Amino acid sequence: MLKIDEIRIENLIEGCITDNCNPVFSFSLLSEKQDTYLVKAVVKVGDWQQTVYSQKDIIYTGVLIPFTMYIVDITAYDNHGEIAVKTAYFQTGRMKTIWDAKWITKTSYTPEKKKSPIPMTFEKKFKSSKQIKRAYMTVTAMGIFEINLNGNVLTQEYFAPGFTSYKHTLQYVFYDITDYINLENKLIAVVGGGWAVGRFTYSSKSQITTKRQMLLAEMFFEYADGSFEKIVTDETWKVTLNGNYRFGDFYDGETFDSTIKLDSVSWESADTAKLKFKPKITARYGCPVKAHETLLPVNVFVAINGEVVYDFGQNFAGVIHLKINGRENQKIVIRHAEILCKGNLSVKSLRTAKATVTYICSQGEQIYSPKLTYMGFRYVGIRGIERKDINVSAFAIYSDIEAIGAFECSNPLINKLQSNIVWSSKSNFVDIPTDCPQRDERQGWTGDISVFSRTACYNFDLSRFLGKWLADVRYEQGKLGGIPFIVPRHGDIWPVIPTACWSDCCILVPWAEYLARGSKTLLKKQYPVMKKYLKAVKFWASLFSFSKDQKKIWKYLFQFGDWCAPDGYIKDWMKKGKWIATAYYANSCNIMAKISDILGYAKDKEYYNKLSTEICTAYINVFTNGDGKLDNEFQTAYVLPIYFNMTDESTKLRMANNLERLVKERDYHLSTGFTGTPYLLFALSDNNKVDVAYKLLMQDTCPSWIYQVKHGATTFWEQWCAVSPDNEEKGLTYDESDSEASFNHYAYGAVGDFLYRRIAGIEATSGGYETFSIKPVIGGNLIYAKSSQKTPYGTITSKWEISNDIFSIDFTVPVSTKCTITLPSGKTANFGSGKYTLSEKINNELQRNEL
C-alpha cells in the first residue's frame, strides 16, 4: 500500500512557524511494492492547488496572512495506481506586521569593556479579565533571553533568539501563551549578554553589536468576544540588574543566586532605545538549541587539589544539572574541563575561558542548571558541598538537528571513531557551526565546516541549521567577493578576502547539503555568492602573473595552507598554500559547473568547465614533472589533484603511486592537515590502493585517527598529537607541556565521509539520493559493515558481510529512487525501490587486498 510517510514544511516535520511568503514543502513515500515511484501529487492549501511531479522543492505560491494556521493536504499517485493522502500544518508568523513594541533596556547601565554584562531582568505585570480565545507572543533581544510567564518557563531552548549576522537579520521566537494567562499575570524576561553584548572572540571583545542588552516583545490577545488587544515592550515595563542571574558569559560561565527574591529587589522603569541599524526581524528559520542527552557520571573521585571530580565519560558541549540539598547562602563552585592532568582538571585547552559556574543556594531541596552559558567538557570539579547533598548530571546541548545516518562495522575501534565524529558534531553545532566548544573561541570558522560538511550531512539533517548559517555567508560576503574567515563575522578583524578552503565554504557547504537533501532552492539562493567568489579568486590568482599557467596558480593574498598538519607549525602549514589553493580553486570551479548544469545555466557551465580545465593543466605544468611527480612532494599536494580528478587517468595513477610511496616512507602514517585529510583515503582507495587506505585508517600510532581513539579520545582533537607520543613512558596521559590544542574540533572527523561512502559504500549520484550507488570497498579485515541513511525520499539501508568466502549484502531502496549496486567483483546491477539481497563468492584478488 502506498503511504505518505513524512511531509516537511520549510524542512520541518512539525511546528513550522514561518515568515517566508513562499514556504517550501517536500514529502517521502512508503510502499511494500517493488519499483514504486511517484507519478504525480496534488498539493492543496485552502484554495491553492498544484499538481507536482517531484517530492521536493514544492513552492507554495498562494496568499498568506499573518498568525494563521494553514493545512497542507497532499494526495500522491504512484505507478501501480495506488493513492496516498496525508495532511500537515504550518503557521505564519508576523509576516509584515509592523512592530509597535519599543526596544527596552536600562540606559544608565554601562557594562565593562571586554567583559560580559550583568544579566538584565525585565518585568511586566498585567491583568486579563476577558475570556481568551488565543494568546501568543513574539520576542527577540540583543543578547540571549529566557522568558517566564506566571512561573512557566516558556523558553525551553537555549540562547534565543540565536546567533545571526545581527546587522542583517535577527530571528524572533513565537510562543503560544493561551494556556498560561491568568487574571493577574507576571512576565519575567532575563536577558544575558550572549553573542550580541557579551564577551566573544579570543581577543575578548564585548558589546560587539550593542552597548547593552535590549528586549523587544509583543503579546497578542484574541478574545472570545471578537476583540483584540496587544501588550508590547515600552516604558511601562520594569528593569533591574539585581535579579538571580548575577553573571552569564559563554566562556567564563554563570553565577546564579537563588536567595534573591524578585519581589524584594529594586525595580526601575525600563528605558526605550533605538537600534542603530535595521536588521530584518524574522521568524526563526534556524533550529533552536536544546538539551538532548542526559549524561550521568561514570566515575567520581577526589582530585589532588581537593575538588570532587565527576567524570561523564564523554567530552561534549552542555551544562550541568544539579539536584541540591542546600543551606541558605551556601556557595557551590563548579569548574569544567575536557581532560585531566596529574590528578586534577586541566584547563589549558580552555585558554582564557574560566568555564566556572557558581551557585548560591537557598534553604532545602533545589534544582539548578545554567541557561546563559555552555561549556565543552567531560569533567566537572565541585567545591562547597558534600557529596551526599548533591546529585550531578549534565545535558548535552546542541541545535535541534535530526540524526539521519548510522554506521557500524566489525571493528570496535572504527565504531568508536564514528561515535567521536558524532559527538564532535553535536558539540560544535550550537546554533552555528563552531570550531570548538570549550575555549575562548567557539566561532564560525569557515574552513572547519568546509572540510566537514560531507560527513556532517551523512549524520544529520542540517537543512535548517546550515540554511541559516549560509544566509549569513550570503550577507557577509565582501563587496569584492571574499568570504570572512569567520561567519557570522562577529568581532572578527581579519580582512574579507578569498582564502582557499575557508572561503570555499560558500561552494562546498551548499554542495554537500544539496547532495544530501537535493534542494535546488538552496543552490539558487547561494549561486550569486559562488559566482562572485570565484570571480574574486580568478582576480587574485592572476595578479602579478603573466604566463597562461601562472595566472591560474593561486598565490595571493593569504592562505592557511595545510592547517594543523602534523609536521611543523603555522608557518610550515601556510607555506603549502599555493598547491592547496590552486587545487581547491579547480575543484570549486568543477563543482560550480555541475551546479550551473543543475540550475540550467548552460553558458556558466561551459565557462567553469573551461576554467577548471585550465587550472588543472596549470597545476600539472607548474608543480609536476609532467609524469605525475611533484617537484615539491607532500601528501596533500598529491591527495587533492587525485581526488579532485585534476589529471588524466594514467597521470592520476602515477600520482597515486607517489602518494603511496610518501605514505610508506612514513611507515604508513598520514601527514595531512585540515585541507588534505578528508580526501586522503579516497585518493588511495579509488586508485587501486585499498590496502594502503585501510592500513592508514587502522593505524594506531601517532599521527592517526585510531591513535586518538586508543588514547582516550571521545571527540576529535584539533591536532593529531594533542596528547604527545613523547609521553609514551608516562602511559600516554595528557601532560600540560603538550600543546594547548582543543580536544573537540571536528575537522579530522571528515574521515566519516569515507566510512559511509566507501566502507558502507552509499553515495548520492544526484541531489537528495534520487539516484544513488552502493559500492562497498572491502578490506581492513572487516567482516561486516552496516549503514543507514534517511534521505528526503525515505531510508536507504545497507548491510554487507563476509562469511565462508561469500560476500552478501542486504539493502533497501526508497520509493522514487534508483540504486546502482556494484559488488566487490565489479558486477553491477540497477534496482528500483524495494528490499534486496545479493551475494557472490569472493575471489582471490579481493582477498589479497585484505590485511
Q: Return residues touching ligand BGC (CB under 6 A).
A: 435-436, 441, 445, 447-448, 560, 563, 745
Q: How many CA atoms lie within 13 A of 21 on its CB side?
A: 8
Q: Which is nearer to ligand BGC, 436 or 785 (CB)?
A: 436
From the CB of 448, what's the least distance to ligand BGC, in Å?
5
From the CB of 446, what's the least distance to ligand BGC, in Å?
8
Residue among 113, 140, 137 nearest 214 (CA):
140
Residues 195, 248: Cα–Cα separation, whole Å: 11
From the CB of 201, what's the least distance to ligand BGC, in Å?
10
From the CB of 377, what's the least distance to ligand BGC, in Å?
17
DSSP 11: T
Q: Distances in Å between the alpha carbon of 51 and those of 10, 41, 217, 685?
A: 19, 6, 40, 45
- Name residue, grid cell 575536557: 338
For residue 840, the cross-strand partners are: 807
From the CB of 523, what's the least distance to ligand BGC, in Å?
25
Q: What does the block give as the cell for 400? A: 535541534
Q: Which is nearer to ligand BGC, 70 or 746 (CB)?
A: 746
From the CB of 476, what's the least distance to ligand BGC, in Å?
16
A 10 A CB-CB count for 81 gives 8
From the CB of 361, what's the least distance to ligand BGC, in Å?
37
For residue 605, the cross-strand partners are: none
Q: Which is nearer to ligand BGC, 300 or 570 (CB)?
A: 570
3-state class (DSSP) for residue 840: strand
From the CB of 113, what's the least distance to ligand BGC, in Å?
23
Q: Which is nearer to ligand BGC, 488 or 628 (CB)?
A: 488
From the CB of 739, what's the least distance to ligand BGC, in Å?
12
Residues 825, 846: Cα–Cα separation, whole Å: 8
What secondary structure, in 3-state letters, does 310-346 show? EEEEEEEEEEEEEEEEECCCCEEEEEEECEEECCEEE
**Residue 659 dihedral angles phi and psi, to the nearest 5°:** -65, -45
A 10 A CB-CB count for 548 gives 12
Q: Which is nearer to ligand BGC, 10 or 441 (CB)?
A: 441
Q: Which is nearer to ligand BGC, 247 or 560 (CB)?
A: 560
From the CB of 350, what's the least distance to ligand BGC, in Å?
13
Cα 538 to chain center, whole Å? 29
3-state class (DSSP) for residue 288: coil
Q: Which is nearer to ligand BGC, 310 or 563 (CB)?
A: 563
For residue 808, the cross-strand partners are: 801, 839
Q: Distances in Å between the alpha carbon of 746 and those of 144, 422, 453?
A: 26, 9, 10
Segment holding 649, helix H or strand E: helix 649-665
From the CB of 501, what's the least distance to ligand BGC, in Å?
9
Q: What does the block give as the cell for 517? A: 537533501
Helix ranges (H only) for 92-247 are 194-197
From the CB of 435, what's the least distance to ligand BGC, in Å?
4
Helix ranges (H only) for 543-628 are 570-575, 577-599, 602-623
From the CB of 502, what's the least distance to ligand BGC, in Å?
7
Tell me the chain's radius of gyration from C-alpha atoms.
28
From the CB of 202, what's the least distance to ligand BGC, in Å?
7
From the CB of 734, what's the least distance to ligand BGC, in Å?
19
From the CB of 557, what's the least distance to ligand BGC, in Å?
15
From the CB of 556, what's the least distance to ligand BGC, in Å?
18
Q: Which is nearer to ligand BGC, 105 or 675 (CB)?
A: 675
Residues 378, 396: Cα–Cα separation, whole Å: 11
Q: Which is nearer to ligand BGC, 435 or 753 (CB)?
A: 435
Report yes or no: 790 and 809 within 8 Å, Cβ to Cβ: no
From the CB of 745, what's the least distance to ligand BGC, in Å?
6
Give me the amino acid identity at 399: S
Residue among 761, 675, 750, 653 nearest 705 (CA):
750
Q: Which is nearer to ligand BGC, 507 or 764 (CB)?
A: 507
Residues 770, 614: Cα–Cα separation, whole Å: 32
Q: Which is nearer to ligand BGC, 349 or 369 (CB)?
A: 349
Q: What does the block give as the cell for 379? A: 569533567
Q: Which is nearer to ligand BGC, 445 or 682 (CB)?
A: 445
Report yes or no: 90 and 72 within 8 Å, Cβ to Cβ: yes
Q: Which is nearer to ligand BGC, 271 or 440 (CB)?
A: 440
Give me the amino acid identity at 301: F
Q: Which is nearer to ligand BGC, 448 or 738 (CB)?
A: 448
Residues 319, 335: Cα–Cα separation, whole Å: 11
Q: What does the block give as the cell for 178? A: 493561551
Residues 553, 543: Cα–Cα separation, whole Å: 10
Q: What does the block give as the cell for 498? A: 578569498
Residues 78, 31: Cα–Cα separation, whole Å: 9
- Name residue, grid cell 567483483: 825
Q: Which is nearer to ligand BGC, 28 or 708 (CB)?
A: 708
For the stretch 802-805, contacts whose Cβ atoms lie closer than 8 Å and that sit 24 or more positions apart, written own/partner, are 802/778, 802/842, 805/841, 805/842
Q: Which is nearer to ligand BGC, 36 or 424 (CB)?
A: 424
Distance between start and end Cα atoms, the chain: 46
Q: Which is nearer to ligand BGC, 336 or 745 (CB)?
A: 745
662 Cβ neighbours under 8 A, 6+ residues apart? 633, 634, 635, 638, 671
Q: Which is nearer to ligand BGC, 285 or 563 (CB)?
A: 563
Residues 674, 501: Cα–Cα separation, whole Å: 9
